[in-house]
Each structure stands twice: as structure tokens, then as C-alpha cells.
Structure 1
Amino acid sequence: MPDRRTPWHPPQAVPRVGHRTCDHDPDPSWSDCAVLDGPPERWCPKDADDRADDGSCAREEARYLEYSESGWSMMILWAAGTEHIVRCLETRPPPPVRVTHVREDGTEQRWELERTRHDQADIDLFVDTVLGEAGVPAQPSGYRWFLRLPDSCRGADDFAARLRAALGPGRLQTGPPSEDLAAFRRAFAVLYGGAPPDPGGAG
């Protein structure tokens, strides 16, 4: 007589609120970037005219660069890899919004306004839109983001020259953002993984 007993199966786990199951390893995330109590030692803005404060150092002494809140800057930062990125909470007052009014006679009037929540939401949306077009995950807001320079680089300007050399002669921002992301990933692989090219030949 055949055995009609129902085979035993292990009980199914009951999903918890705010929890999802996944059938693959976790994707890289901005959450993989180390969180510091404050800015790292020996940092300066990526660009000389970017926002700085009393904690920054001379460009030739920098070991970390702070990247500004733009989609292009954050895409470049992501290309370096989360293992080279650190962050800290933004505790400074937000920079003002610059307003320009062009009159009918062509003259301009400029002034500054305090940044509102609406202004910040627009900035965050624009950053995430650019990142999304490049296939990069949305970035948590409320942080300052820093790139640890390769050990071979001697400050901010030397790093910039070596990055240009590693990128080569190809033009950027002429195709899909994903192509620019791939170009920066290849360049950072050279800077962090091997002997950087001589910046003397950089354009």
C-alpha cells in the first residue's frame, strides 16, 4: 500500500516589518563608506575655490579631498570605490543660494538667500538623478564626503594631474554618464592599484 503521508517541510520564516529577503550578495552601497566623528586629518576641498573651513590644510599637504554636493562630483567619488571614501555628518550651516536677476537692459543684479529645505531637496534630487543615469545608487544626505588619496600622490594638485593622465586623451561628458563612470573606474584602478602615470604628460 503506498505511503500517503505528507512529506515534512521546514516552516517558512515569517518576514519581519522593514525586512526583505534577497537571493544574492549585497550590492555596493554608500553605507559601506566609513563614518567618522568629524573630517579626517589633512583634508582640503577638491577644487581650490570650493567651500573650506578652519579645519582644512594646504593643498600640497592633503591626504583627503572633500567632494562637493554635485552629481558629477559624487559620480567620480563613487568610481574610486567605497573602500577609499570616508564621510562625516554635515554640522556646518548650509551655504547660501546665489540669485541672479538679469534686467531688460542686460545688466545683472546678484544677491544671496539662506538655503531652504526646498532648495536642499532640489539639490538632492538633481544629484540622485545624475547618479541614477550612471547606474550609481542614491546617496544618503546630510554627510560630507572625502576621498582618501593614493599613497603615491603628493597632495591635491598632484592627484588631479595624475588622474588626468590616467584618464587619457578621451573626452568626458560627451556620452552616457555610465561611460564616464567606467572611464573614471579604469583611471582609479591605475592610481590605487599600480604605478600612476607620470603627470608631466597630462593635458
Structure 2
Amino acid sequence: MPAAYRHPYLSATRRTVPWGLNRLFLPAKPTSTPTQRDWIPSVTVRGTAIVGSKARATRPARSDQWSDVQQPAPSASWLELAENGWGALMGWAAGEENLRRYPTSDAGRTVTGYIEQAGEREPFMEPFTSDDRDIIDDEIDAYLRDADLPPRPRGYVWMIRVPDGYPSPGAFLADADAAIQRAANGTVDPKQLRPVFVQVFRDFYATGN
């Protein structure tokens, strides 16, 4: 089994249980649906440079930006972000005016994954615990810290605005992700990705309404 597999839009945490079985945990809401990206192996996030000379503005890291975000009722105009560092960086790059949040609960959530032993995988499903929540939030905070950004307040679902003209939130997410991948030119360092995210979302919101 590879060291770990992570998806940019799914929180996945591999843990090793005392008896040495590898377990891949995929926390998911009861209503969660598959995303459009394929699974990709996790990679080291330091030491890679963005190739190219195009200058990109970096949004100043305001410590109060997260706390100032409004809390409206969810609607079709807002896309729920993934519970990982990639999603958190998307939200910050979108800017306070395009970011919303609302309180959430993990009640009823489950953790699915598999146990690997002797080359075979056995799927399982378990209740989502407070430890699982802490793992996800701690990893998000660590990613933001690597991007030189403050942590988000915990206990919220975070959403970004979908510009007018998109047939679905998924279409906007796919286009934004593709634009980030092109502009990043292979870098995976959160601090170097930060200006890439900012420029991509600035361009999207400048052309949309």
C-alpha cells in the first residue's frame, strides 16, 4: 500500500492501530457525494518553487478575516468547501466578501475506510468522533500555518460564492481547481500556492458577478 492517499476535496487520515493494521479513514457527512477529481498520492509540501515570471499579488494575512465572515443561511449561490487545507486556502483566497460560514454539527457522521492485512482490504464504517474532528481541524490549521495564514475558527461549514453563469457549483469548483493546477506549475508548497489561489479567484470574481 502507498504511504497514504489523499484527495484535494476529501479529508483523509491514515492511522495505524495497535496491532499494526493500516487504516485509511475518510470522514464523510451522510449526504456527501463523490467529487470530480481522481485520487492522488500525498506529497511533500516543502522545497518546490513556482516556475515563471508572472507577478502575483499576495493578499495580506489579516488575523480577523475569518472572524468577520458573515453567517447567512445556505443557498444555491454558495459552494461548501472541503474540510482540508486546500479548501481552507480556497476560502481565504476568495476573500471575505465571497466567503460565508454557518455553525455545523458532526452528529450522525460516519468514518469509512478499509483495513489492509496480508494484501487484502476490508472496508469498515465507524461513528465520527471528537478525535476525528480534532485531526481534521488540526491538519487544516497546520496547512494554513504553512501558508503563513491564521487558523480558522472551528465549528463552522465554510462556503464560497459561485459566480453567475455557472450551471452548477461543481462546474465552478472544477474550473477553479483546474486554473490553480495550471498556474501552480507543479508547486505544492502552501506558502507558494497562496498567491496562486489569490490570483485565480481574483480573476474568477472579476469576470463573474
Do the two structures share a fold, i.e. TM-score over 0.5? yes
Matched residue SS, 2:71:
strand
AA paired with 1:149?
Answer: V
List alignment gaps of at least 5 residues for structure 1.
1-25, 43-62, 197-203
The 2-side partners of 1:73 and 1:100 are apart by 24
The CA deviation string for residues 37-67 of structure 1, in whole angstroms up to 9 with x for no partner, is x4x222xxxxxxxxxxxxxxxxxxxx21101
CA shift, 1:117, in A, is 1.5
Query: How do 1:1-203 and structure 2 match up within 5 A?
Result: 27-36=63-72, 38=73, 40-42=74-76, 63-91=77-105, 93=107, 95-104=109-118, 106-160=119-173, 162-163=175-176, 166-167=179-180, 169-171=182-184, 174-194=187-207
Distance 1:125 1:156, change over 3 A: same
CA shift, 1:27, in A, is 4.0
Distance 1:116 1:72, change over 3 A: same
Matched residue SS, 1:135:
coil
AA paired with 2:131?
Answer: H
Larger radius of gyration: 1
State the TM-score, normalized to the length of structure 1: 0.64
Matched residue SS, 2:79:
strand
Distance 1:160 1:124, change over 3 A: closer
- Backbone CA RMSD of aligned residues: 2.5
Q: Count the aligned residue pairs.
A: 148
State the TM-score, normalized to the length of structure 2: 0.62
CA shift, 1:73, in A, is 0.9
The CA deviation string for residues 155-201 of structure 1, in whole angstroms up to 9 with x for no partner, is 324423542565473346624211211111001111112469xxxxx
List alignment gaps of at least 5 residues for structure 2.
1-61
Greater relative contact order (CA < 8 Å, ≥ 6 in sequence): 2
The 1-side partners of 2:181 and 2:114 are apart by 37
The 2-side partners of 1:132 and 1:181 are apart by 11
Matched residue SS, 1:169:
helix
The 2-side partners of 1:143 and 1:118 are apart by 17
The 2-side partners of 1:128 and 1:173 are apart by 23
**Bigger proportion of residues as strand:** 2
Identity over aligned residues, as a percent? 28
